[in-house]
Structure 1
Amino acid sequence: MVATPARFGAGGQWAERAARPLRLTAGPGARPTPDEIDAMRAALLQRDEPGAALARALLTDRTVTQAQVRAALADPGAPAPKPMDEFLDTVRVRPSWVDDALLDRGAEVCRTFGVDATLVLTYGSLLGGYRTAAALEPLVRTGRLTGDETARRIAETTGWWRAVTAPGGLRPGAEGHRLTLHVRVMHAMVNHRLEADPSWDHAGRGVPINQYDQASTLGVFSTSFLLHLRLLGVRVSRADGAAVMHLWSYVGALMGVADRWLPHTERSGRRLLYQLLAHDPPPDANSTALARALIDSGVPERRERALSIATWLLGPAALRDLGLPPRPPWHALSRVAANLPATHVSGRLPGGRRRLLARAERQLRHYQAADPRDLA
């Protein structure tokens, strides 16, 4: 029997405190069963096997080239080398639960969030993900840490998010579909290199890019994303929330996340994210370095706005964990004041969705020419 990586449960009381808000939102029965704990332990040792096979073909066997990967992702129906074709076979037949109407609704809902989506992605999802050291070492090993790399990572993440949520973005061959599979291939290549690196701490960390951490990352883009939007005063109805979760569950499937770890509903997503965070290790030097790089990456006058938003979304304790100074939520409350009448009143009247989409497009045009680091 393979030993559980030492990082599992290393957070102790810190992790339970950090995860407590999620436990409260998940409702009764949030704590994991013994079988669920065993599954989490095992997930730290499980990789994306189809992605791993393609990475071997790219990096070890040299039977596939990067150019062939790019061509195949741009046109999934075109002839491709056998390893690439076998990889694409895993996504050519969609899971039976995928519903195109729900995908379209989930994408449209996401587009109505405008600048608030960018704020939540940056200072909720990305920054919040740094609070635990669980999945940061691969990021640090690739050099995506400070300086211009921070801005590039923000731009890449928001660009991918917009492609995924564009109309028809997850249809085969569409930009969102292509970029999602591209990210999956890149993850597989990073994992392949790190697994072969003698300096990788397998006993402490498990597989570099594993199912546990992929499930957690998917959770911050879906479950906590919706929770944070509501904290900014955005109305997300139960039906809209269900559509968003459906969208991101399909994104997870395309990324190679096993169905066992997909957050099909908000309730199950909150429960799962709570269980994962409650067994995560505490922050480390990587956490604070990445957090400071993110907060300091914009122009100086934007830093206070970013800290205000982050304090409101993540809480003062999270910012202290990350070595950042908490701030009064003045900027966050200004977003709440703007969103309450727009989404809870105007958005519920006839034509409300159309008005919210137009509002989001105006915000996007206003910010599109700006440096993505300055969106706070």
Structure 2
Amino acid sequence: MSLSIEQVRARVASQKTLLPALYGNMDFDATPERFTEDASKAVVRDRAPLGVSVSQDDLDRVRAYTMLGDIVADAYAALIPKYGFRRLIDMLTTACEQGVEAVVEAPPELLAFIADMEATPDWVDMDLVREGARLDLNATAHLAPFAIRGAFVATFLNKYSALPMALTGTLSNDTAARRVNETATFFATTVLPGALERHGAGFKAAAMVRLMHSMVRFNAIRSGRWDVSVYGVPIPQVDQMPAGLIPVFLMAFKILRQGRRHFTAEERARVELARYRCFLLGLPQDLLADTPEGVVRIMTARNTTLRQGFDDETCGALVRATLAAYLPPDRSPANRLHDRIERRFAKAFFLRHFMNGDQAAAARMGVEVGAGDRLVFAAVALGVIARMMAFRAADKAPGLRDVANAVLVRRVRKLLARYGHAEYVTDAAQYRPTRAAA
């Protein structure tokens, strides 16, 4: 069951006593500048989209989760001074692949971290998760390679939520390319058969992402360059929610526009996959709704309380670095051609799905979308839709389903080889000061 708002606030406050070295000086009763009750100053102003009204309880939860990090993963990351970040990664890798008993003198913080991920809550239906992963193979194989950059850019539209990425030095083209490919790797890995089982590759990838987020928190807060009164906790739960639920959020909005109020069986399976991935990343049930109205309501509560702010020094630099990044593994003629096509598609995809087609607003953020980009987007979209429809048809045919699934699995594995090995690390030496500190 979801926690009461009093229980959520108590959990937030517990960070101060459980992790005093990290959160001991934070005032969790203070409201950071990034949070606003005035929707006219927020990223989104409509608190009742498509007739789905946000309640005061929703706003209170978002306010609380704006100040919540990840207690068990943060405690493990706080061991960096003792073990070094490479040793923490090695121990976590061993624990994921072989079990914590295989880690020599495993620290109690690692035991708690793994136990938290193993404690699958009763609100998760693992059969639905597996079906959702199978169904998502199609989009991962065909759409994701073209859409991932555009979706990644969408996370940089607000200076309050984008700052952790800027602070960690993710402003160069090479670093941006690595982060995009790591994100693509995580989502692609989690749809492979068995990947989200206890010793699967998806479980390990989630643990690595979770540790990386905690390393960012640890290094940002300990750097003395993080202004809590302005930005709150680095990478709070409410900022991880959009990244984990973007496809579900877009789907929920589409469903409500169609006049429906319930997910179909296939849609529900995809939602359950997203919810379980988010659980592995440390998100609470409160932020992981399982109905179209619930998904839209909690995301709207977050977006109508996140203060609007596009800082070119932070957001603009991240957008430009991501758009300029060369993602393929080499510069062969085929990969250079793919890069040009994918880059054009990504810009148009971003404009269509995250800027509501407002070209002027996109241009102000550094995303110029021309006629050529729109033409490439249309051509690629037609090809992607045709391939996805063909595989959907094969999925409905008993004699073809297994063959189609096998083909999709091979394609996703090929994509993973193309994305390269994901490091999921953050180097404190690259951290940049915030504008306030500077």
Question: Does TM, normalized by the shorter one, top 0.5?
Answer: yes
Amino acid at match of 2:91: Q
Corresponding residue for 1:209? 235
Matched, 1:334 2:375: no
Counterpart selection for 1:179 from 202, 205, 214? 205
In the TM superposition, residue 321 of structure 1 has moved relative to its aligned partner by 4.6
Matches for 1:75-224 after TM superposition, within 5 Å? 75-79=98-102, 80-113=106-139, 114-123=141-150, 125-220=151-246, 222-224=248-250
When residues 261 and 145 of structure 1 are mapped into structure 2, their CA distance, relative to the original with a 3 A threshold, is: same
CA distance in 1: counterparts of 2:418 and 2:38, whole angstroms:
39
CA distance in 2: counterparts of 1:166 and 1:361, whole angstroms:
7
Task: Report Cα offsets for 1:77-97 as digits up to 9, x if no partner.
Answer: 525332211221212221112
Matches for 1:1-376 after TM superposition, within 5 Å? 2-9=29-36, 13=40, 15=42, 18=44, 24=49, 27-30=50-53, 32-56=54-78, 58-60=79-81, 62=83, 65-66=87-88, 67-79=90-102, 80-113=106-139, 114-123=141-150, 125-220=151-246, 222-224=248-250, 238-280=264-306, 281-285=308-312, 286-298=314-326, 301-302=340-341, 303-314=343-354, 315-317=356-358, 319-328=362-371, 329-343=374-388, 347-348=392-393, 350-351=397-398, 357=405, 360=408
Find the residue that maps to 1:112 and give its secondary structure: helix
CA distance in 1: counterparts of 2:117 and 2:315, whole angstroms:
34
CA distance in 1: counterparts of 2:404 and 2:194, whole angstroms:
19
In the TM superposition, residue 271 of structure 1 has moved relative to its aligned partner by 2.3
When residues 63 and 335 of structure 1 are mapped into structure 2, their CA distance, relative to the original with a 3 A threshold, is: closer
CA distance in 1: counterparts of 2:96 and 2:391, whole angstroms:
41
TM-score normalised by L of structure 2: 0.72
- 2:69–2:237 Cα contact (<8 Å) kept: yes
Between 301-310 and 205-214, report the one with greater CA deviation: 301-310
Find the residue that maps to 1:101 and give its secondary structure: helix
In the TM superposition, residue 132 of structure 1 has moved relative to its aligned partner by 1.9
In the TM superposition, residue 263 of structure 1 has moved relative to its aligned partner by 3.6
- 2:128–2:273 Cα contact (<8 Å) kept: yes
In the TM superposition, residue 68 of structure 1 has moved relative to its aligned partner by 2.2
CA distance in 2: counterparts of 1:366 and 1:112, whole angstroms:
14
When residues 246 and 370 of structure 1 are mapped into structure 2, their CA distance, relative to the original with a 3 A threshold, is: closer
- 2:158–2:311 Cα contact (<8 Å) kept: yes
Corresponding residue for 2:423? none
Structure 1: which 5+ runs fail to align? Answer: 229-236
CA distance in 2: counterparts of 1:277 and 1:312, whole angstroms:
18
CA distance in 2: counterparts of 1:330 and 1:117, whole angstroms:
19
TM-score normalised by L of structure 1: 0.83
In the TM superposition, residue 4 of structure 1 has moved relative to its aligned partner by 0.7
Task: Report Cα offsets for 1:220-245 as digits up to 9, x if no partner.
Answer: 254237879xxxxxxxx822221111
Task: Report Cα offsets for 1:147-193 as digits up to 9, x if no partner.
Answer: 21111112111111111111111101111100101111121122112
CA distance in 2: counterparts of 1:331 and 1:356, whole angstroms:
27
Task: Report Cα offsets for 1:98-156 as digits up to 9, x if no partner.
Answer: 22221111111111112212323321x21111122232111111112222111111211
Between 330-339 and 356-365, report the one with greater CA deviation: 356-365
CA distance in 2: counterparts of 1:214 and 1:369, whole angstroms:
26
In the TM superposition, residue 206 of structure 1 has moved relative to its aligned partner by 0.6
Identical-residue share of aligned pairs (%): 22
When residues 89 and 365 of structure 1 are mapped into structure 2, their CA distance, relative to the original with a 3 A threshold, is: closer
Structure 2: which 5+ runs fail to align? Answer: 1-27, 255-262, 327-335, 421-438
- 2:142–2:387 Cα contact (<8 Å) kept: no
